[in-house]
Amino acid sequence: MSRYDQMSALGLLAPMLVVLLVVAVFPVLYSFWVSLFDLKLTRPHRVPFVWLANYATVFQDPLFWASVWRTTWFTVISVAAIMVIALLAALLLNEEFRGRRFLSAVLLVPWAIPYVANGLMWKWIYDSGYGALNGLLFQLDFIDKYMVWLGDSEKTLALIANAFVWKEVPLATILILVGLKSIPGDLYSAARVDGANVWRRFVHITLPALRPSFMLVLIYEAMMAIRHFDLFFILTEGGPAEASHVLAWEVYVETFRKLSFGTGSALAYIMAILTFLLAFALIRALGKKL
């Protein structure tokens, strides 16, 4: 590339670089900077530099470890459910049958709904007084009186996970369906002639071919689940008690309710690093076998 080309390339990229610097790089660095101060908006005039003391505070807080555990649990069940349901849905939509197009369109609906609207919808469904879930189960005689759903600390996290899964399945299905469509039909013919029945064709042809799609879904959905905030905000605000107090909620509470920007930033940083490490580990572990 000539010098002139390099200069003009830089010139063309510059506006975007400036935008990225202002909206991404600067906030990232600035929040790390903030995490090194004991910055509380309740006490705006005294902002001592405390090195990594905010991180120490966070790690010593039992609530932090409890939220890490809840986030892990939420992530594992959500992602597992998303993968299984999306695989089944993709396998179904990969077959030729009447009404397939219609079903595909219906399946995409949750994807088109914004997170907040999704949250409000599930809030209504789970409502203990007039919720659709209570209505349905009652009419089907599965329950004999209306239940408190989200208010039951045993069930809260699973119910939120359910709402999250409902929203995430369409995208995961599409990613897996693309993987399915790219498997050459000849491979199935060859396996049939080689004596493999349906199940063995699935195990020996379909599953290995879907590995890249699975990995994509796994990493993407795990990151979405770890960082997920909207449903917790709309449905439970971390409650009842602390039953749905996950890491993302902890960041919010620390920063915007307690107005402790120092520890809030430290928490956000810890979360980002955890997410990054997880993605890295997954790529290392699964990527090798691609």
Interface residues with another protein (CB under 8 A) are 184, 186-187, 189-197, 200, 204-205, 208-209, 211
Contact 173, 90 (CB under 8 A): yes
User: Nearer to another protein by C-beta: 205 or 283?
Assistant: 205
Radius of gyration of the chain (CA): 24
Cα distance between the two ends of the chain: 35
Rounded to 5°, angle at Cα 47 from 44 and 51: 150
Contact 94, 210 (CB under 8 A): no
User: Nearer to another protein by C-beta: 162 or 213?
Assistant: 213
User: Nearer to another protein by C-beta: 66 or 209?
Assistant: 209
Task: Give the nearest distance from C-beta 202 to another protein in angstroms.
Answer: 13
CA atoms within 13 A on the CB side of 269: 22
User: Nearer to another protein by C-beta: 211 or 258?
Assistant: 211
Task: Give the nearest distance from C-beta 119 to another protein in angstroms.
Answer: 41
Task: Give the nearest distance from C-beta 201 to another protein in angstroms.
Answer: 9
20-49: string of b/e by CB count within 10 Å (b at 16+)? eeeeeeeeeeebeebbbbbbbeeeeeeeee
Task: Give the nearest distance from C-beta 186 to another protein in angstroms.
Answer: 4
Task: Give the nearest distance from C-beta 280 to another protein in angstroms.
Answer: 24
Q: What is the 3-state secondary structure (H, E, C) of 196-226?
A: CCHHHHHHHHHHHHHHHHHHHHHHHHHHHHH
Task: Give the nearest distance from C-beta 208 to another protein in angstroms.
Answer: 4
User: Nearer to another protein by C-beta: 11 or 195?
Assistant: 195
The two three-digit tokens of residue 207, written as one number = 């599953």
Q: What is the 3-state secondary structure (H, E, C) of 110-130?
A: HHHCCHHHHHHHHHHHCCCCC
User: Nearer to another protein by C-beta: 80 or 205?
Assistant: 205
